[in-house]
A = this chain, B = another copy of it.
Amino acid sequence: MATAVTTTDFSKAPINAKLSTEQKLKLLTEMVRIRRFETESLRQYNGGKIGGFLHLYNGQESVAVGCVSLMGDDDHVITAYRDHGHALAVGMTMNECMAELYGKATGCSKGKGGSMHFFAPDKNYWGGHGIVAGQTPLGLGLGYALKYKGLKGAAMCFMGDGAVNQGCFYESLNIASLFEVPVVYIIENNGYSMGTSLARSSAFKSCLAERAEGFGMAWGKCNGTDIYEVRANVQEALARAHIESKPTLLEVSTYRYYGHSVADANHTGGYRQKDEIEFYKQNHDPIQHYKRRLIEEGVLTEEQYEQIDEAAKSEAAAAAQFADESPVAGEETITQDVYFEVDRQTEAGRTGKHFFND
């Protein structure tokens, strides 16, 4: 059941054709905001302000923004550790995100989660998960809950091309197909899992998404350069979820400009050549592609673009300042947010000992 949107000019796809100028500019703005946020966080990481890992989303912006732009009230999102793009796309503020990277009390997870663990359930955003593919059964569960509650929504569950080799993903595909769960799995295929190219990690037929075929599930593959193409394909999958309550596995070709994480020094000249990165930047950059497109469409000027970019840059810089000036939470907060019942001091939370340091 390979599915493919047949138009090649994806601006003609109904979901794109009906976009207002404002909506189009918003798509562009969101992609630019993500890129500027990432670049700023890289700078701050290098300045020693941020700990742990930092997995940047630069180059992949069309995927998160394209998908999230299609979300209705009952559509939900969950992803892996490369989660800043999705977070900003669903409407989390740069301030709370940057403060989380700084490990500050004002961070979206109060400094408890860090880069890999952003969450905003009020915006239907369920993280941010560090264990490769560990979020794939959770995404299934979100879809399951929606169906259980009789809501016409879907869960979009993102993952990398390396993540497809974790077993729980196939357990999820089978259950999704068997139970007709409205979940859309989206493989952001950026060609590498850390230093391992797709060809060295996965055996497949025409593409990774085709593995869904054996589970009787709809699947498709599209290119992430053009946000219109992403939207057209994802829209179809969402409709399948909303209308038929059926899952889809979609693979989106994309590329990351930086290393796997900022600790990955091998990514230029090691497992991939500098030319390759340049080639993608020149020919497949989703922001530049969409910018050109919107200028062609006559809804954007170079000056406007500069304004958008400048605004995003300042917003990111301000977020860094906000994070820097925010306080670290007190030591006593280390044991908060472990148990609901303890935090609320319910009767359950007050009965028996929950923590064992003394």
Interface residues of A, Cβ cutoff 8 Å to B: 165-171, 174, 177-178, 200-205, 210-217
Report Cα–Cα, A171/B212, bound state, in Å: 15
Indicate how many identical chains form the complex. Answer: 2
Contact A178 B203 (CB under 8 A): yes
Give chain A's interface secondary structure class: helix
Chain B neighbourhood of A203, CB < 8 A: 174, 177-178, 215-217
Top 10 closest A-B pairs, CB basis?
A167-B167, A211-B214, A177-B203, A170-B170, A178-B203, A203-B216, A167-B171, A167-B168, A214-B214, A203-B215
Closest to A207 in B: B214
Contact A174 B178 (CB under 8 A): no
Chain B neighbourhood of A217, CB < 8 A: 203
Chain B neighbourhood of A205, CB < 8 A: 213-216
Could you list 10 examples of A-B contacts with CB < 8 Å? Answer: A166-B167, A167-B167, A178-B202, A204-B216, A205-B215, A205-B216, A210-B213, A211-B215, A213-B213, A214-B214
Most chain B beta-carbon neighbours within 10 Å: one of A167, A177, A200: A167
Instruction: Among B166, B171, B212, B216, point to the contact of A165 (Cβ < 8 A).
Output: B171
Instruction: Among B165, B171, B174, B210, point to the contact of A174 (Cβ < 8 A).
Output: B165
Chain B neighbourhood of A216, CB < 8 A: 203-205
Contact A166 B171 (CB under 8 A): yes
Report Cα–Cα, A21/B311, bound state, in Å: 86
Least distance between A1 CB and chain B CB atoms (Å): 9
Report Cα–Cα, A205/B216, bound state, in Å: 5
Least distance between A287 CB and chain B CB atoms (Å): 33
Most chain B beta-carbon neighbours within 10 Å: one of A170, A202, A216: A170
Chain B neighbourhood of A165, CB < 8 A: 170-171, 174
Report Cα–Cα, A168/B166, bound state, in Å: 8
Report Cα–Cα, A190/B171, bound state, in Å: 20
Closest to A179 in B: B203
Closest to A171 in B: B167
Least distance between A42 CB and chain B CB atoms (Å): 33
Most chain B beta-carbon neighbours within 10 Å: one of A169, A210, A216: A216
Least distance between A260 CB and chain B CB atoms (Å): 20
